[in-house]
Amino acid sequence: MPHLHTILVACATLGALTAAEPAAFLTPGPAGGQLRSGAVRELAPGKLLVAARGLPDPNFSQTVVLLAQHSAEGSMGLVINHRTDVPVARLFPNLQQAQGQTFALYVGGPVSQDGVLALLRSTSPAPDSRRVLEDVYMVATAKAIEEPIVAGIDQSRFRVYLGYAGWGAGQLEQETVHGSWHVFRADGAVIFDPQPETVWERQIRRTEERMATLSLP
């Protein structure tokens, strides 16, 4: 069973975020993918990465990733649409308030799947958190993750993830240029969508509509 431990994203070095072998995250573009150099300029924290149709990497096929950190040294984010059947209560066997709740765990990505992160939608900063959007914070310590659960927060404002998605220096840029990712501005409604299983399909249709509009004379 995964154990809860501190992952201080706000203070972590990008070296730690990209400790896995870089080749593990080099995602070749889908068949027929076009070079999209302009999309690279859109990469930034608070953006959504929508996987292109036909992306061959099983870790990222039909995923939507919230990009939480991005610089010349590397990038990290959370897959927001892979909900599991495992209840969050399993991570907190000694936390009475967690028992009986219907929260489900999400798979945040293939890196450090014994580590836990959470996303909180709030109008005020949470302790030990990193701001990703105006009203969305990444929570990275056991205490800060437990507190919303104890308070009985609604799952429309709080989600718990095992692991994260990580890219080494220049990897995400290369994948984006080759058409593996479409880049959009994120918002809380998409991140906490009540039907995460259909988020990718809706976002990829949005992508195709945008591309069709741009192709008009």
Instruction: Indicate the domain borders of the chain.
Output: 33-214
Q: What is the predicted pLDDT for the residue at 8? A: 32
Q: What is the predicted pLDDT for the residue at 98? A: 82
Q: What is the predicted pLDDT for the residue at 21? A: 33
Q: What is the predicted pLDDT for the residue at 127? A: 76
The tokens for 138 are 């990444």
Q: What is the predicted pLDDT for the residue at 71? A: 95
Residue in the block written with tokens 């798979």: 107
Amino acid residing at 201: E
Q: Which residues in the chain land under pLDDT 70?
A: 1-37, 211-217
Q: Please report the DSSP string for 149-214 in residue order.
A: HHTT--TTSEEEEEEEEEEETTHHHHHHHTTSEEEEE--HHHHT-S-GGGHHHHHHHHHHHHHHHH
Q: What is the predicted pLDDT for the residue at 125? A: 79
Q: What is the predicted pLDDT for the residue at 37? A: 63
**Apex 69 CA angle, 177 and 164, nearest 5:** 90
33-214: CATH topology? VC0467-like (3.40.1740)
Q: What is the predicted pLDDT for the residue at 94? A: 85
Q: What proportions of the chain, in percent to the nearest 5, are helix, strand and coil?
A: 25, 30, 45
Q: What is the predicted pLDDT for the residue at 14? A: 29
**Contact call for residues 88 and 104 (beta carbons, < 8 A):** yes
Q: What is the predicted pLDDT for the residue at 204? A: 94
Q: What's the pTM?
A: 0.82
Q: What is the predicted pLDDT for the residue at 165? A: 98
Measured CA to CA, the distance from residue 189 to residue 119 in angstroms comes to 13
